[in-house]
């Protein structure tokens, strides 16, 4: 006798659940009503729903990531659940999908984030298709990662950014290709995707220290902007450098600020503000000096992921040993670092700061 797969849908708010008010669009549609607006879902899977919050994702915080991740973990441990779908706002969806990938070890089935650019009750909405596609992937595909399903594509959470505000294809992967594409059939393009495994036991590894700042280098930036961060309670910093991780080293020399923070036990992770690329500390003098001052290479991690991972690494190192933090940042947890970057290269980066 055929038993339809069970998919758990967790509602957190976002545009997909929004309707118009005197204040603009805001999430006010309950998740059960949202699901009822997509009757084709019942043709794909049995659905169970629960709403844990109803937020515009601009209001999401690290504490909310942990709340969402703990609810997901319950379903990951439930053998009856084939997959999980989280409805979420697009503005910080990539943050939350990445945070889940960092905070939960041994994900053993699909964890699918989706939402919409246009509210479900509006003309031209993409909500129904995205939700249906998400449930199809969650119930059918041999994937065991935190992913984003949006505009007919399957994207790895830790390698995805929101690149477009109005277009329906809001998200882009920094990998050469998406994990998969969705049409009449679902096509998996990335053969390295992690597969389901019922023998794998997921567990919580998600304590965070959310006192991490993200600063983008700009012409005229002052070192005091960086060195003042501990006065505001920050315990870690991610710097989006130019190009390969470069910073000013003449007037308004940022490397002195990096060294000052390093000496205070504040870890600094250097990433690139380029959408596609990676930090290469040996390429330019303006990058090398920052790493000699103590910066940690973000490799090709997206800046948003570097922030989350540094929060996680700080929780692992109450002694604030920066070399331990460096090792944790260089550990590839969920595909956030391109596997082509070798341990030997990481060691070379580490030696620069000694």
Measured CA angle at 314 (ends 311, 319), to 5 deg: 170
- The CA-CA-CA angle for residues 25, 26, 31, to 5°, reads 125
Residue 318: alpha-carbon gap to chain centroid? 24
**Which DSSP letter does residue 305 get?**
H
Residues counted in the chain: 354
Which residues belong to the active site?
A: 15, 90-91, 162
Cβ distance 137 to 174 under 8 Å? Answer: no
What's the predicted TM-score (pTM) here? Answer: 0.93
Q: Which residue has the tokens 């929060």?
A: 311
Query: Which two three-digit tokens encode residue 339?
Result: 């596997």
The whole-number pLDDT of residue 210 equals 96
- Which fold does the domain 212-352 belong to in CATH? Rossmann fold (3.40.50)
Q: CA–CA distance from 258 to each of 51, 143, 287, 293 (Å)?
A: 43, 40, 12, 6
How high is the pLDDT of residue 1?
A: 60
Domain range summary for the chain, segments of one domain joined by + = 6-204, 212-352
Give the pLDDT confidence score for residue 344 in this predicted structure: 41
**Below-70 pLDDT ranges, the chain:** 1, 284, 341-354
Q: Say what the pLDDT of residue 338 is.
A: 85
Give the other-Cβ count within 10 Å of 285's Cβ.
Answer: 10
Domains 6-204 and 212-352 fall in the same CATH topology: yes
Q: Is 316 exposed, middle or buried (0-12, 13-18, 19+ CB in 10 A)?
A: middle
Tens of pLDDT along 288-300? 888 898 899 999 9
28-57 residue pLDDT tens: 999 999 999 999 999 999 999 999 999 999
pLDDT at 219: 94
- pLDDT of amino acid 339: 78
**Is 207 in contact with 177 (CB distance < 8 Å)?**
no
The residues facing 181 across adjacent strands are 153, 187
Angle at 267 between CA 262 and CA 271, to 5 degrees: 115
Q: What is the CATH architecture assignment of 6-204?
A: 3-Layer(aba) Sandwich (3.40)
Distance separating alpha carbons of residues 60 and 88, to the nearest angstrom? 10
């Amino acid at each position: 006798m055929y038993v339809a797969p069970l998919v758990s849908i967790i509602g957190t708010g976002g545009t997909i659940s929004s309707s118009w008010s005197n204040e603009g669009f805001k999430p006010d549609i309950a998740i059960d009503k949202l699901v009822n607006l997509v009757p084709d879902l019942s043709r794909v899977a049995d659905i169970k729903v629960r709403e844990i919050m109803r937020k515009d994702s601009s209001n999401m915080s690290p504490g909310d990531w942990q709340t969402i991740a703990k609810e997901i973990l319950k379903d990951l441990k439930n053998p009856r659940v084939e997959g999980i779908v989280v409805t979420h706002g697009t503005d910080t969806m990539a943050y939350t999908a990445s945070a889940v990938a960092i905070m939960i070890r041994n994900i053993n089935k699909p964890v699918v984030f989706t939402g919409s650019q246009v509210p479900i009750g509006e003309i031209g909405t993409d909500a129904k298709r995205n939700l249906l596609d998400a449930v199809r992937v969650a119930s059918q595909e041999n994937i065991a990662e935190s992913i984003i399903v949006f505009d007919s594509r399957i994207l790895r959470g830790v390698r995805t950014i929101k690149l477009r505000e109005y277009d329906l294809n809001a998200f882009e992967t920094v990998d050469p290709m998406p994990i998969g594409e969705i049409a009449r059939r679902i096509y998996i393009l990335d053969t390295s995707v992690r597969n389901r495994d019922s023998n794998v036991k997921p567990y919580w590894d998600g304590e965070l220290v959310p006192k991490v700042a993200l600063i983008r280098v700009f012409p005229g930036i002052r070192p005091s902007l960086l060195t003042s961060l501990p006065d505001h309670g920050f315990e870690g910093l991610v710097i989006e450098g130019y190009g390969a991780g470069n910073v000013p080293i003449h007037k308004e020399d940022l490397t002195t600020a990096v060294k000052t923070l390093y000496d205070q036990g504040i870890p600094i992770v250097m990433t690139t503000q380029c959408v596609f690329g990676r930090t290469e500390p040996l390429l330019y003098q303006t990058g090398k000096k920052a790493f000699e001052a103590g910066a940690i290479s973000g490799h090709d991690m997206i800046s948003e992921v570097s922030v989350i991972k540094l929060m996680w690494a700080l929780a692992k190192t109450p002694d604030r040993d920066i070399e331990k933090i460096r090792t944790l940042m260089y550990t590839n947890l969920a595909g956030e670092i391109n596997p082509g970057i070798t341990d030997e290269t990481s060691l070379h980066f580490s030696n620069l700061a000694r």
